Amino acid sequence: MALSVAAQASADERYTVTELKADLSDCRARHVHVIADQSYSGTLVRALRRSRHHRGRVAVYASGRDAEYSYGRQFTAAWTRVNHTRLCMNDVFRVSRLAARLIAVCCSRGPL
């Protein structure tokens, strides 16, 4: 399943973890990478880690843990700025998450 760049969710639209797991179960790909840039995205990581069917096939790169907020689009913005030609996915993830957290800390403190 792919969304166009112009795709927008309405305020009442929800895509649950259960729906994602079902969609991924129907996917014939050997490896799937999910980038989750939303508050409490660790919940998705935990759900897929517990699923025997998805273990080893689905890699989730989440902007936060179960009880962490994700501010704006910092994680996604940092992910797209990293040089993907010289880093493996796990390194891209670490750099992006660190950059997003630094931006969130700076923004929460206000102007310098």
Evaluate whether residue 87 is within a structural domain: yes
pLDDT, position 3: 46
Evaluate whether residue 4 is within a structural domain: no
Evaluate whether residue 3 is within a structural domain: no
Instruction: Let me know if 51 is exposed, middle or buried by CB neighbors in 10 A (0-12, 13-18, 19+).
Output: middle
Query: Each residue of 45-101: pLDDT tens digit?
Result: 888 888 877 777 788 888 888 777 777 777 888 878 777 777 777 777 777 777 776
How far apart (Å, rounded) are the C-alpha atoms in residues 37 and 110? Answer: 22
How far apart (Å, rounded) are the C-alpha atoms in residues 55 and 38? Answer: 22
Evaluate whether residue 6 is within a structural domain: no
Evaluate whether residue 13 is within a structural domain: no
Please state the pTM of the whole predicted model: 0.65
pLDDT, position 103: 56
Q: Yes or no: say if 36 and 9 are a contact pair by the CB < 8 Å rule.
A: no
pLDDT, position 104: 54
Evaluate whether residue 91 is within a structural domain: yes
Evaluate whether residue 10 is within a structural domain: no
Mean pLDDT, residues 29-35: 84
pLDDT, position 112: 41
pLDDT, position 72: 73
| Enclosing domain of residue 58 | 18-109
Evaluate whether residue 99 is within a structural domain: yes
Please give the structure tokens belonging to residue 90: 């796990």
Please give the structure tokens belonging to residue 104: 């969130």
pLDDT, position 23: 87
Mean pLDDT, residues 15-34: 85
Structurally, the chain folds into a number of domains equal to 1
